[in-house]
A and B are shown apart, each in its own frame.
Chain A
Amino acid sequence: MKRKHLFILAMVLTLAGLGCFYYKVRQLKLPLQPKVQTMLWTLEAEVAFKAQKAPIKIELFIPKNNPNIAITNESFISREFGLNTETEGGNRKAVWSKRQAKGKIHLYYRGVFRLTGVERTLEAPFDRRDKTELRKPDFSGTRLEASTALIAELFDKSADMESFVIALLKRLNQSDESAATLFLLDKMKTTEDKADLIVRLLSLADIQARAVHGIRLVQDLKFARSDLKHWVEVFDNGKWHPFNPETAEKGIPADYLVWWRGGEPLLKFKGLKDCKVAFSLARNEEETQFIVSDRNPKGMPFLYRFSLFSLPLQTQSVYRILMLIPIGALLVVLLRNVIGIRTLGTFMPVLIALALRETQLPVGLMLFIVLVGLGLGVRRYLEQLKLLVVPRLAAVLTMVILMMAAFSVVTHLLGLEQGLSVALFPMVILTMAIERMSILWEETGPGDALRQGLGTLIVATFIYLVMAVPILAHLVFVFPELNLVLLAAILLLGRYSGYRLTEFIRFKVFNTKEKSS
């Protein structure tokens, strides 16, 4: 009866855990591998100028959240300037202003972006608010004539909007073309100019279009304004369709970060003679840990919002560690109840394993041995003073902490940074371990005490090695529901009543007997 109940419970937990996991993998497309989409890009814009006497106002377009590229973090260095970010015509812009400033000034914008891995839909959704004004064609004289002729010709040769645009782009990209095209292009040096020309030509044909400016997140680079990549978006049937003006292909690559749209300049300034802006783009591997923390999870399903990602980054990093504890607990159950290794304190090995994560294995093991060894020495010495138990424990705890501090200082002076992470050792528990070990030492001799100490280290090392598997850490954090499966395993192990592995050694008399008969 109880057995059945337990199996059903374990089954329900497993199914719930796996079901939730499956949904998140298939529907929400959360990554199974820790490194698939963890590429983060830091984009930095540096605005440099020399202040004059006049009041200063600087406007710089900054990227906004996109389905394919999400902003994970943003910061500004504004010195003593007032800073405002505003949205205007579908674009975001940072506005710095100050009544009076002196000398050379550098202002920074820094954004951290993540490729979400979400397919960029070909048609960017039309947003009523970002309706740009129809760009005026602005042609005159012979240019107007040439343009009109070109449009008329291409209109004749195409069937719909798409084929028309592609024909136009192809024509503009041909080098050996008619005089009319050359004439239009002669002043076009950059792709940006070309994109603008295309928008004007389309406007002449009564097709609403706009230029898109941005950068592809492909490699580390320092770049200037002229290195930006430009696209053209054409409005048709309620959607914006992107086209590459260079290749005449439809679509925008997934790694293209849209910066701003329309014909306005990237940087506008008032009250200055000159203002320069420089950019840099860097891939950030270190921060790949902190993914999926989009600032704007609007429109994401409930389960997504109701997850650990909704927490602030700092809390998330705490849960990254906490979520590993159930794995450790399961391993403790296995090692104690199935293998039969004896340890000091039930879950102390888990805590030591967590500390090992910070210190790395060899250093951590050494620290543990040194601290426990010294602690045992101190405990032995205090024994002579005949202190009461609680004060003695407190004294050992204090000594342990002082020893840790001394250790950190010494290793730091020697240039070994790992000594600093000693502070993460669970010292209160360490103190209890020292106490228990010394009682064991007195009561049953050093053999048992050392055996249990060693058992603790072996179990801790094993747990550490398992916890260090990156994919496990990733899975339990991104899919905390997998802990339900672990829970089910723990519950089932709770009814394991077979022999422990070490009992074969303990009862080996019965085996030798079996062989001899």
Chain B
Amino acid sequence: MKAWGGLKQSGILGLNQRNAAYTLVYNQRRLYPLVDDKLKTKALALQAGLSVPELYGVIDSEYQIRHKLHDLLAIHPEAVIKPSKGSGGKGILVLTGRFRERYRKNNGIIMEKEEVGYHVSNILSGMYSLGGQPDRAMIEYRVQFDPVFEGVSYMGVPDIRIIVFLGVPVMSMVRLPTRESNGKANLHQGAVGAGIDLAGGVTVAAVWKNTAVEEHPDTGASIKGLTIPRWPELLKLAAGCYELTGLGYLGVDIVLDQSKGPLILELNARPGLSIQIANRQGLLPRLDAVKKQAHDLHSLAERVAFAVKTFKTAAACNPNN
């Protein structure tokens, strides 16, 4: 019962409550395809003038694997191949270049041409998609992450997750890949999650495999106190995804490219709960605050301003961090 009290007091949002009180209520089923299919999200974002990683091409049939795939990769040797309807980072292949007739993966391993083709074929047959439905493979720009993350990521690209509730950013974190996570930015696979103060864009606390950490496990560089560049821009980008999709409870994944700035990587209608651990903060008080004010917030600027004002000090001043 003590354990129960601790979670409740911290305002932790549990999975059941997230489903019953947030995603089921604020996210209409018919809007899900907009975010479950990354190609649709991308088209939508482009239409609205939001920046996304450039799409080089789409492979949607076995025929194209033989005829289109390698032509595309010849033009863009640095590219990311991902399933359009994949979830949880499954099925993403990052190519960093070519070696003779072969490809080089982000972990340095060389892949044969047909190995890449096989991977795309697996994507097409729905191996990584929700419910195993047939899928498309998208080939897109490989993000060159901003130098601010140079010392604190291993192999992969760090991404910034912002939870947006009714158009108001409520919590955010940056996920830093590690050797253990194999370059992936997924917390339960071993990536480091660092909470970000919504007001200033400064990292405040970090968690790795459920324990608090101060430095990156692979590089030893300090994670705390990192300032994310162009933070206000990121917040606006994230908040704008509410209008974009109409989803009330949303996880926005953004990457910071060194030349192109913040890009929307993907949207998530059922964002995970680990962000609370990374911030050492429960989501519930913040969600409640937004619920109370939602009808007074009319423009995007108002919503972002509200977030910056309301969620400003909460994490930054927590003595335990």
Contacts and interface: CB of A to CB of B under 8 A. Distances in A.
B156 interface: no
A497 B188 contact: no
Interface string B249-274: 00000000000000000000000010
Contacts of B12: 499, 503, 507, 510
A419 B91 CA distance: 38
A497 B14 contact: yes
Contact of A509 (B114, B212, B273): B212
Interface stretch (B34-42, B118-126, B146-154, B219-227): B118-126
Interface stretch (B2-10, B99-107, B159-167, B229-237): B2-10
B188 A444 contact: yes
A174 interface: no
Contacts, number: 93
Given A389-B122, A497-B21, A506-B210, A513 B320 contact: yes
B122 A510 contact: no
A512 B19 CA distance: 26
B9 A514 contact: yes
B90 interface: yes
A337 B16 CA distance: 7
Contacts of A225: none
Contact of A439 (B7, B127, B273): B127
B10 A510 contact: yes
Contact of A498 (B14, B114, B186): B14
B188 A439 contact: no
A508 B4 CA distance: 10
Interface string B198-217: 00000000010011100000
A389 B126 CA distance: 8
For chain B, give the interface size range: 35 or more
Interface string B13-52: 0111101110000000000000000000000000000000
A500 B7 CA distance: 11
Interface in A92-127: none
Interface string A358-395: 00000000000000000000000000001011100000
Nearest to B277: A509
Contacts of B64: none
Interface residues on A, range: 20 to 34
B310 interface: no
Contact of B3 (A444, A504, A516): A504
Q: Which of B3, B8, B19, B207 has the most chain A CB atoms closer than 10 A to its own CB?
A: B3
A379 to B, nearest CB: 12
Contact of B7 (A448, A497, A511, A516): A511
30 contacts: A386-B114, A388-B121, A389-B126, A390-B125, A439-B90, A439-B128, A443-B88, A448-B188, A496-B16, A496-B20, A497-B19, A498-B17, A499-B4, A499-B14, A500-B14, A506-B277, A507-B12, A508-B210, A509-B207, A509-B211, A509-B277, A510-B6, A510-B280, A510-B282, A511-B2, A511-B3, A511-B6, A511-B7, A513-B6, A513-B280
